[in-house]
């Protein structure tokens, strides 16, 4: 078997793209999108008509509604390709306002349901700020499943587990990027690869913690820079992978073994709980997570602004 097929023995493979024409070749179970991926897609000739058609069909509607309808339109096409779930993201500019996040999440689910899609096939992506996590807590009570994204800190994972969210997306590559940049010339690539990669270590720790304490939230490693980061997380509940890296896995016949074991236990690991104050302090103490969370929200907000501009220009 190629590495992609080997990986499927331990882990659910998810496609990280808005390019629904491309993903079928890799037969993922689920797919994830974000504002940057959708923006990239709608600027391609194959997908630009989809944006124009959605905007024309809802001319006169509020801009934010047209954006949501565009996201759902992509989600509907993706669900024709994958048998499982699609993740659709709430506007990142609402990351610190729970009431608006709730309203947008409910609208997204309503748009899917109006098209005959059961809510079990949709994950609402929300940035893992304190406000986003509390919004997800309420949505989960309503049967709206959530994917908490831009997750860099263990404190974020703890709070998500306590909120009962369905799935988290801890980022691997962006953590790796931060530590590599911080180390500068002293960075040793070979010593920081595989299971020693700082992003891999972060996801592995979260996975072990969840399994040890019976937390049902699914762990989906995300944001990969190379195949080595993926193979070092074989056994994680899910991994969301770009088409480029999926192709590399598919083209390799190198042996791949399970790394993460759900039955493994660590006697030194203790349960952790967070109030709002302790969450904010723990996040503040983690320079990497603080910087990457803020950077991620800003980047998604910029791309949402660009998507707004494209719609207004039609």
Reading the block at residue 279, the tokens are: 């969450």
Q: Residue 261, SS3? A: coil
Residues 6+ apart with CB under 8 A from 83: 29
In sequence order, what E strands does the chain have? 12-16, 30-32, 86-89, 122-127, 146-151, 167-170, 218-221, 238-241
First to last CA, the chain: 47
Would residue 180 show up in a list of annotated catalytic residues for this protein?
no
Distance separating alpha carbons of residues 158 and 154, to the nearest angstrom:
6
Report the 10 Å Cβ neighbour count for 201: 16
Q: In a 10 Å sphere around its CB, with 0-12 CB exposed, 13-18 middle and 19+ buried, how is residue 141 labelled?
A: exposed
Q: Residue 84, SS3? A: coil
* Nearest partner of 300 among 36, 23, 49, judged by Cα: 36
Which DSSP letter does residue 237 get?
A: S
Distance separating alpha carbons of residues 286 and 246, to the nearest angstrom:
31
Distance separating alpha carbons of residues 76 and 276, to the nearest angstrom:
36
Strands 146-151 and 122-127: what pairing?
A: parallel
Q: Kindly name the residue from 125, 181, 211, 292 that is annotated as catalytic.
A: 125
Report the 10 Å Cβ neighbour count for 254: 10
- Catalytic site residues? 125
């Amino acid at each position: 078997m190629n590495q992609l097929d080997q990986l499927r023995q331990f882990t659910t493979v998810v496609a990280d793209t808005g390019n629904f024409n491309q993903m079928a070749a890799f037969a993922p179970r689920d797919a994830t999108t974000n504002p940057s991926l959708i923006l990239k897609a709608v600027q391609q000739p194959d997908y630009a008509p989809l944006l124009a058609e959605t905007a024309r069909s809802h001319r006169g509607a509020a801009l934010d509604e047209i954006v949501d309808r565009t996201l759902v339109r992509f989600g509907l096409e993706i669900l024709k390709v994958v048998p499982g779930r699609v993740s659709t993201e709430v506007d990142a500019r609402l990351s610190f306002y729970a009431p608006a996040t709730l309203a947008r999440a409910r609208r997204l689910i309503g748009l899917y349901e109006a098209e005959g899609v059961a809510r079990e096939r949709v994950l609402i992506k929300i940035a893992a700020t304190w406000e986003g996590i509390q919004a997800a807590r309420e949505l989960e009570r309503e049967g709206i499943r959530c994917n908490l994204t831009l997750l860099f800190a263990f404190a974020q994972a703890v709070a998500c587990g306590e909120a009962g969210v369905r799935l988290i997306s801890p980022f691997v590559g962006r953590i790796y990027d931060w530590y590599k940049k911080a180390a500068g010339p002293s960075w040793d690539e070979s010593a920081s690869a595989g299971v020693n990669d700082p992003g891999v270590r972060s996801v592995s720790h979260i996975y072990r913690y969840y399994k040890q304490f019976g937390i049902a939230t699914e762990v989906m490693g995300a944001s990969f820079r190379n195949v080595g980061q993926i193979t070092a997380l074989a056994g994680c509940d899910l991994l969301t992978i770009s088409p480029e890296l999926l192709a590399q896995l598919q083209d390799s016949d190198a042996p791949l073994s399970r790394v993460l074991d759900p039955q493994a236990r660590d006697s030194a690991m203790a349960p952790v709980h967070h109030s709002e104050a302790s969450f904010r302090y723990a996040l503040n103490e983690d320079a990497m997570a603080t910087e990457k969370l803020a950077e991620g929200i800003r980047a998604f907000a910029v791309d949402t602004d660009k998507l707004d501009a494209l719609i207004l220009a039609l």
